[in-house]
Amino acid sequence: MLSYLRTTFTDTDADDISQEEYVERSITYHGKRAVVENQNYQIDRLWKQNYILVNVIAEGYDQKRFYEHLVKQKSKSEIS
Q: Is residue 8 part of a domain?
A: no
Q: Mean pLDDT, 10 residues at a time, over the chain (80 residues)?
A: 66 81 95 97 94 83 84 80
Q: Is residue 4 part of a domain?
A: no
Instruction: Give the global pTM.
Output: 0.56
> What range defines the domain where residue 46 resides?
14-79
Q: Can you give the pLDDT at residue 41?
A: 97
Our CA dihedral for 7, 12, 15, 21, rounded to 10 degrees, sits at: -90
Q: Is residue 1 part of a domain?
A: no
Q: Is residue 9 part of a domain?
A: no
Q: Is residue 58 part of a domain?
A: yes
Question: Apex CA 11: angle with CA 27 and CA 8, to 5°?
Answer: 100
Query: How many domains does the chain contain in total?
Result: 1
